[in-house]
Structure 1
Amino acid sequence: MASFSSEIIGRNVVDVEGAMFGVVTDLRLAPTTGTITHVLVEHAPEIDPERLPWSTRNGLVEVPAEEVERIANLVHLRR
């Protein structure tokens, strides 16, 4: 049985308008609870990370978990 993270990593991420935002590269978990706190995304080349409301580290956008609307074949953001 695959872990939840392995099912999500590699999925495309789209914004609220359905435009390509990037690809999930990893998940950040709270150490005490194991809940997802952030989705780490390699943003699409045409996106300027300086204009995003979220922090970036090592070229990855740290999207807070509460900014994810839903996860299906794609990861859908609230914005």
Structure 2
Amino acid sequence: MSSADEDIAPSAKKRKLQRACDYCRRKKSKCDGPEMPDHRCSNCQARRIECTYKEPHRGNYPSSYARTLESRLERMEKLMNK
């Protein structure tokens, strides 16, 4: 591997996204669910509760917010070009 390849390799590496189950997230405890074959973590197994993974809420911004940001960016660019 050349030195150019070595510079690129660490940034090209994707980080593994590991999510905690809803119970562990609420209790802020370590969740081993993604490592388990049935994705049921040991915390939920010990408490005999269902191990659930709800999708995180991703807020959608209104289009007016995007327009406001674009206009602010435009003003900043004009100031920088002076």
What TM-score, normalized to structure 2?
Answer: 0.27
Higher share of residues assigned strand: 1
What TM-score, normalized to structure 1?
Answer: 0.28
Higher-Rg structure is 2
